[in-house]
Copies of this chain bind each other. A is one copy, B any other.
Amino acid sequence: MRAAIFNKPGDITLGNRPDAAIVAPTDAVVRVVQACVCGSDLWYYRGDSPFEPGDPIGHEFIGVVQDIGAEVRGLARGDLVVAPFAYSDGTCVHCRYGITTACLHGGFIPAGNGDGGQGEAVRVPLADGTLVKVPGSGHSDEMLASLLTLSDVMGTGHHAAVCARVTAGATVAVVGDGAVGLCGVLAAKRLGAERVIALSRHPARQDIARRFGATDIVADRGDDAVAAVTELTGGVGVDATLECVGTGQAMQTALAITRPGAMVGFVGVPHGVELPIGQMFRRNTGVHGGPAPVRAYLPELLDDVLAGRINPGLVFDHTTDLDGVAEAYAAMDERRAIKSLLRVSTI
């Protein structure tokens, strides 16, 4: 089958791999309908994080169940499913606590040296616990794109908002205008934030942020951004901050604009972040975050997507197919695209 292969930093191309197949009786094989490129894939693409040359890549996809192992009970061939970027059994002590990304038997896609999401099909371990069936049929392309965000970015933006303790009526700031940051704006609004300040300097992203519910845009960075948010909040700082980048500067900014007693929810994989514990202590500001337990959030977010209450698929502004995977990466790397969608097959 065809699948994207990581050759080396800056070089991801379409290649050939053995067909995805059931290995364990709890597996399912999913034929990919739509996949996409994640901001975290760019860490590998840019050489900032290690990745094994020759391995398949990608972890965000929706698709149709093509085959199931003998022990899979809740799924059938032909089901349209959302695949969270982490697989989990749904029954262990951590899954029941809601942290499916810490599942005792779980892991991340690509699993082991298994299939990547940017390919024709994927073996998904622990299919009953992991995959979420999408009800209905005849979903529009727009709806499929929104469903695709539930495999990662929408759930991750929501996790940032949950970790930041966004509450109804709150004033919230979102640092980062990538797809996760934009989904964070949408998540904060969905949780009842009254005011959402999006830090973004790109007009196209500012536009989506506004459509997602941002009430204020701050185009500055660093100290200037801190000054601007401080002024917007009458010197107080915000009630909750979503840090959706993962760099030291983004975290510094996030902590500086957070009011005393409030939280920074962070979901960007930390790269060169040092937490200023003295400042955090003096100001009673906390941090909480990590790999989003997207699977745990999927039911409630899926309901809202299917009902049309949220439309996170707007984050996709570059659409291609598997043959265009190299350009899908390049467009995001060069910030010509917010997020690239790969149409792989039809339902």
Contacts and interface: CB of A to CB of B under 8 A. Distances in A.
Interface of A: 93-94, 97-99, 101-102, 163, 234, 236, 259-261, 263, 266, 269-270, 273-275, 277-278, 280-291, 293
A286 B99 contact: no
Contacts of A284: 99, 101-102, 288-291, 293
How many copies of this chain are found per oligomer?
Answer: 2
A273 B277 contact: yes
Contact of A260 (B102, B266, B274, B286): B102
Given A97-B261, A260-B102, A266 B281 contact: yes
Contacts of A266: 281
A270 B260 contact: no
Contacts of A280: 287, 289-290
A234 B98 CA distance: 18
Contact of A291 (B97, B281, B288): B281
A102 B236 CA distance: 10
A194 to B, nearest CB: 15
Shortest Cβ-Cβ A-B pairs, 4 listed: A286-B288, A284-B290, A102-B260, A99-B261
A158 B319 CA distance: 53
Nearest to A282: B290
Nearest to A284: B290
Contacts of A277: 270, 273-275
Contacts of A102: 260-261, 283-284
A98 B261 contact: yes
A260 B99 CA distance: 7
B269 A94 contact: no
A259 B101 CA distance: 12
Given A98-B261, A102-B261, A277-B275, A289 B286 contact: yes
Contacts of A282: 290-291
A261 B291 contact: no
A171 B332 CA distance: 44
A158 to B, nearest CB: 14
A269 B281 contact: yes
17 contacts: A94-B236, A94-B260, A97-B260, A97-B261, A102-B261, A102-B284, A163-B286, A260-B290, A263-B288, A270-B277, A274-B277, A275-B275, A282-B290, A284-B288, A284-B291, A285-B288, A287-B288
The residue in A97, A102, A260 that gathers the most chain B C-beta atoms within 10 A of its C-beta is A260
A43 to B, nearest CB: 13
